[in-house]
Amino acid sequence: MSRLVIEQIAVLSDNYIHLLHEPDSGATAAVDPAVAQPVLDLLAARGWRLTHILNTHHHGDHTGGNLDLRRATGARVVGARKDAGRIPGLDVEVGEGDTFLLGHAAAVVFETPGHTDGHIAFWFPDSAALFCGDTLFSLGCGRLFEGTADQMWDSLSKLRDLPEHTRVFCAHEYTAANGRFAKVLDRDNAALKQRIDDVARLNAAGRSSVPSTLAEERATNPFLRADRAEIARAVGLPPGTAAALVFAELRRRKDVF
């Protein structure tokens, strides 16, 4: 069992790259490196050597730094088997239920289709850390570019079932905007109100709202609450409507919010 040191780098307008360092072996991974230079700078500052690049999906704002980092460091690129051919430099192909070892730290791989067909998430249980890319966001979820609402609901349900102390390291700072949508739907949710206030304070101080915990997301994220009567009612569907249908309606409304 080995606990990771986790660093966050804010890049582009709202992307996060996470650097994971496993202290016993020195193994170090960059998760979803949109760009290379800020990663190289932080590696130099910490005296770490990059051994892996973990990609949750093929979009350019998650893989743009792959080839430069691989060339500069020799790091191996880990990504979905289903994305072979569209993840630049893919060396190690993984799929549902695979274990990936970063030094002595083990991650379980989940396939989480919806945002893209090949989207995956990496869960490091000993570090209580989930890297979920553009599937689950704080107070929101990714758009359905390639998958169906049914698939995305299944993917989110899988992540929702992880231990509640799990820290949710998503790939974008979208929380405040997501909160504006969430509060319209879930007006009486005190935990949501509190979270929105906390995020406003964090953003005003120039600080990140990521990670949240899964406990917080379960209590506040409308997309994880599609099986609750008050959320169905809020989108005009009768209580007892299948959660995947409520989810589909939530996603449709958010797309045009």
In DSSP notation, 162-210 reads S-TT-EEEESB--HHHHHHHHHHH-TT-HHHHHHHHHHHHHHHTT----
Does 59 help bind Zn ion (rule: CB under 5 A)? yes
Residues paired with 213 in a beta bridge? 167
Sheet containing 120-124, strands listed edge to edge, beginning at the edge strand earlier in sequence: 99-102, 105-111, 120-124, 129-133, 167-170, 212-213
Residue with Cβ nearer Fe ion (111 or 134): 134
Q: Which distant-in-sequence residues (6+ apart) come within 8 Å of 26 by Cβ? A: 48, 49, 51, 103
Does 111 help bind Fe ion (rule: CB under 5 A)? no
Question: In angstroms, what is the minimal distance from the CB of 52 to Zn ion?
Answer: 20
Number of chain residues interacting with Fe ion (CB under 5 A): 2
Block residue for tokens 């994971």: 20
Residue with Cβ nearer Fe ion (60 or 95): 60
**Which residue in the list 21, 52, 172, 186 is annotated as catalytic?**
172
Annotation says 59 is catalytic: yes
Rg (CA), the chain: 18
Annotation says 119 is catalytic: no
Residue with Cβ nearer Zn ion (195 or 254): 254
Question: In angstroms, what is the minimal distance from the CB of 79 to Zn ion?
Answer: 13
Q: Which distant-in-sequence residues (6+ apart) come within 8 Å of 207 by Cβ? A: none
SS3 27: coil
Alpha helices in 91-172 (DSSP H): 149-160
* Of 107, 110, 71, nearest in space to 88 by CA: 71
Does 173 help bind Zn ion (rule: CB under 5 A)? no
Quick one: which of 61, 111, 217, 249 contacts Fe ion (CB under 5 A)? 61
Question: In angstroms, what is the minimal distance from the CB of 78 to Fe ion?
Answer: 18
Question: In angstroms, what is the minimal distance from the CB of 133 to Zn ion?
Answer: 7
Quick one: which of 7, 22, 111, 134 contacts Fe ion (CB under 5 A)? 134
**Which residue in the list 18, 58, 115, 119 is annotated as catalytic?**
115
Handedness of CA 9, 37, 121, 108 (dihedral sign): negative
Residue with Cβ nearer Fe ion (61 or 98): 61
Does 134 help bind Zn ion (rule: CB under 5 A)? yes
> Which one of the spans 18-26, 29-37, 133-141, 198-206 is the region binding Zn ion (CB under 5 A)?
133-141
Query: Rounded to whole angstroms, how far apart are CA atoms 31 and 28?
Result: 10
Give me the residues that bind Fe ion (CB under 5 A), please. Answer: 61, 134
Active-site residue numbers? 57, 59, 61-62, 115, 134, 172
Give me the residues that bind Zn ion (CB under 5 A), please. Answer: 59, 134
